[in-house]
Structure 1
Amino acid sequence: MDRLPEEVVLHIISFLDILDIVNVQSVSHRYLLLGRDNALWKTETFSHSRAEALRRQRHLLNAQDSRLSELRNAFSALPGGDLTPLDVALLRGSPQPRASSDPQAEARTQRHRALVNWEPDYAYEDFDYYEEYIHRHGPISLGWLKDSKHARSETGSQAEATGLATLSESQSERPAKVVAPLADGSISIWDIGPRSAYSSSSRGRLVGQSKRGLLTGRPESDITENHTMMTETGAVESVAVDSTSQKGYFAVQSLLQEVDLTTMQLVSTKQYPFPITALSEANGQSPITVGTNNTVHLYDPRDPAFITTETATSGELIGGSVYSHATLAQPGSLSILHHDSTSSDDSSIWVAGRFTSLLNYDRRFFPRLRGTLHSGARIASMAFSPFNVVARELDLVRNPDASISSLLEARSHPGPTILAAAEYKGKGSLELHNVSSGSSYQNRQTASASKLLSAAPHGGRIVFSDGDGNLKWVEKDGFSYVRTFNIQPPPDAAGDASDYGIWSSTASEMPGQGDIVQKILPLKAAASTASDNRADINQSNLLLWTGDGALGMLGFGYSDALGVDDDWHDAVEARAQTVEQRAKEDAERQYGMAMRRALERNADEVRFVRGLGMMR
Structure 2
Amino acid sequence: MDKLPSEIVLQICLFLCPHDVVNLQLVSKRYLSIGRDDKLWREQCFLNSSFLESLRKRQEVLTSLTSEESTFRDLARALATGNGAGSSRLDRPRAEARDLKAQANEKIRIMANWDPSYPSETVRWYDEYIARNAPISISWLQQPRHRESPQHEYLEVRGMALYTPEGEQSSILAAAPLDDGSVCLWDISGTRGQKGSIVARSKSGILWEDDLGSQNASKRSKMVNTGVTECISIDSALKKAFIAVQSGLVEVDLETLSAVSHEKFPFSITALSSATHPVPITVGTNLALYLHDYRASRGYKPSAVSDSIDRFDTMFGSSGSSFRSILNPEKLPTFASLYQPGPLSILHLPSFGNEWDGNGDIYVAGRFSNILNYDRRYFPKTRGTIYSGARLCSMTSLPYPFGSMAKDLARRGELSLEQALEAKTLPGKTLIACGEYNSKGSLEMYGLSPLPQLTTISSDSTAGRLQNSTMKNRQTSSSSKLLSVSNHGTRLVVSDGGGNLKWLERDGFTEARRWNIAHEATEAPRGIWGGLGDSYMDSGSGDIARKILNTQHGQTERAVNDDDLLLWTGEKLGLLNFSTKPGFTAESFEGLAKTAEEVHKEREERVYGETMRRALEQSADEARYLTGAWWQHIQL
- Bigger Cα displacement from structure 2, 390-399 vs 415-424: 390-399
Report the alpha carbon displacement of residue 415 of structure 1 after superposing the two structures with TM.
3.8
Counterpart of 1:304, as a letter, is S
1:206 & 1:607 partners in 2: Cα distance?
Answer: 40
Counterpart of 2:6, as a letter, is E
Structure 2 contact 272–282 (Cα < 8 Å) conserved: yes
Q: 2:204 aligns with which of 193, 203, 212?
A: 212
Work out whether 1:448 is the aligned partner of 2:478.
yes
Q: 2:431 aligns with which of 395, 400, 418?
A: 418
Q: Deviations over 1:256-292 (max 9, x none)?
A: 1111111121111111111000111112211111000
* Unpaired segments ≥5 residues, structure 1: 71-98, 220-224, 530-534, 567-580
Structure 1 contact 233–253 (Cα < 8 Å) conserved: no
Structure 1 contact 544–551 (Cα < 8 Å) conserved: yes
Q: 2:143 aligns with which of 135, 147, 150?
A: 147
1:602 & 1:112 partners in 2: Cα distance?
Answer: 55
Q: 1:291 aligns with which of 277, 284, 287?
A: 284
Aligned ranges 1:327-366 → 2 under 5 Å: 327-340=337-350, 343=353, 346-366=359-379
Structure 2 counterpart of 1:138? 134
1:390 & 1:488 partners in 2: Cα distance?
Answer: 36
* Unpaired segments ≥5 residues, structure 2: 71-94, 212-217, 316-331, 450-465, 589-595, 628-636
Structure 2 counterpart of 1:433? 446
Structure 1 contact 269–307 (Cα < 8 Å) conserved: no
Work out whether 1:538 is the aligned partner of 2:568.
no
Q: 1:168 aligns with which of 158, 164, 168?
A: 164
Work out whether 1:372 is the aligned partner of 2:385.
yes
Counterpart of 1:371, as a letter, is G
Report the alpha carbon displacement of residue 37 of structure 1 after superposing the two structures with TM.
0.6
2:309 & 2:36 partners in 1: Cα distance?
Answer: 60
Q: 1:556 aligns with which of 572, 578, 583?
A: 578
3-state DSSP of counterpart to 1:421: strand
Counterpart of 1:483, as a letter, is R
2:150 & 2:386 partners in 1: Cα distance?
Answer: 49
Structure 2 counterpart of 1:76? none
Report the alpha carbon displacement of residue 107 of structure 1 after superposing the two structures with TM.
4.2
Structure 2 counterpart of 1:323? 333
Structure 1 counterpart of 2:496? 466
2:440 & 2:613 partners in 1: Cα distance?
Answer: 36
Report the alpha carbon displacement of residue 218 of structure 1 after superposing the two structures with TM.
8.1
Report the alpha carbon displacement of residue 18 of structure 1 after superposing the two structures with TM.
1.2
Q: 1:513 aligns with which of 541, 544, 566?
A: 541
Give the TM-score normalised by the residue count of structure 1.
Answer: 0.79
Counterpart of 1:140, as a letter, is I
Structure 2 counterpart of 1:25? 25
Structure 2 contact 390–435 (Cα < 8 Å) conserved: yes
- Bigger Cα displacement from structure 2, 422-431 vs 338-347: 338-347
Report the alpha carbon displacement of residue 434 of structure 1 after superposing the two structures with TM.
2.0
1:589 & 1:211 partners in 2: Cα distance?
Answer: 32
Report the alpha carbon displacement of residue 403 of structure 1 after superposing the two structures with TM.
3.0
Structure 2 contact 113–414 (Cα < 8 Å) conserved: no
Distance 1:180 1:41, change over 3 A: same
Counterpart of 1:553, as a letter, is L
Distance 1:302 1:528, change over 3 A: closer
Distance 1:519 1:494, change over 3 A: closer
Work out whether 1:203 is the aligned partner of 2:226.
no
Structure 2 counterpart of 1:569? none
Counterpart of 2:528, as a letter, is G
Distance 1:154 1:284, change over 3 A: farther
2:186 & 2:413 partners in 1: Cα distance?
Answer: 52
Counterpart of 2:577, as a letter, is G
Distance 1:266 1:53, change over 3 A: same
Distance 1:468 1:358, change over 3 A: same
Report the alpha carbon displacement of residue 588 of structure 1 after superposing the two structures with TM.
10
Aligned ranges 1:14-53 → 2 under 5 Å: 14-53=14-53
Report the alpha carbon displacement of residue 150 of structure 1 after superposing the two structures with TM.
7.9
Structure 1 contact 352–359 (Cα < 8 Å) conserved: yes
Q: 1:186 aligns with which of 182, 207, 220?
A: 182
Structure 2 contact 363–373 (Cα < 8 Å) conserved: yes
1:176 & 1:476 partners in 2: Cα distance?
Answer: 27
Distance 1:227 1:558, change over 3 A: farther
Q: Deviations over 1:391-422 (max 9, x none)?
A: 32564556676432122111113542111011
Q: 1:113 aligns with which of 97, 102, 109?
A: 109
Structure 2 contact 175–185 (Cα < 8 Å) conserved: yes
1:317 & 1:28 partners in 2: Cα distance?
Answer: 80
Structure 1 contact 150–160 (Cα < 8 Å) conserved: no
Structure 2 contact 113–411 (Cα < 8 Å) conserved: no
1:374 & 1:243 partners in 2: Cα distance?
Answer: 34
Q: Deviations over 1:414-470 (max 9, x none)?
A: 542111011111111111112225222111111001111110111010001111111
Work out whether 1:265 is the aligned partner of 2:258.
yes
Structure 2 counterpart of 1:239? 232
Counterpart of 1:495, as a letter, is I
Report the alpha carbon displacement of residue 250 of structure 1 after superposing the two structures with TM.
0.6
Counterpart of 1:452, as a letter, is L
3-state DSSP of counterpart to 1:543: strand
Aligned ranges 1:484-523 → 2 under 5 Å: 484-489=514-519, 495-496=528-529, 513-523=541-551
Number of aligned positions between the proteins: 547
Structure 1 contact 165–179 (Cα < 8 Å) conserved: yes
1:58 & 1:107 partners in 2: Cα distance?
Answer: 18
Structure 2 contact 361–375 (Cα < 8 Å) conserved: yes
Structure 2 counterpart of 1:177? 173
Distance 1:605 1:248, change over 3 A: same
1:159 & 1:55 partners in 2: Cα distance?
Answer: 49
Structure 1 contact 452–464 (Cα < 8 Å) conserved: yes
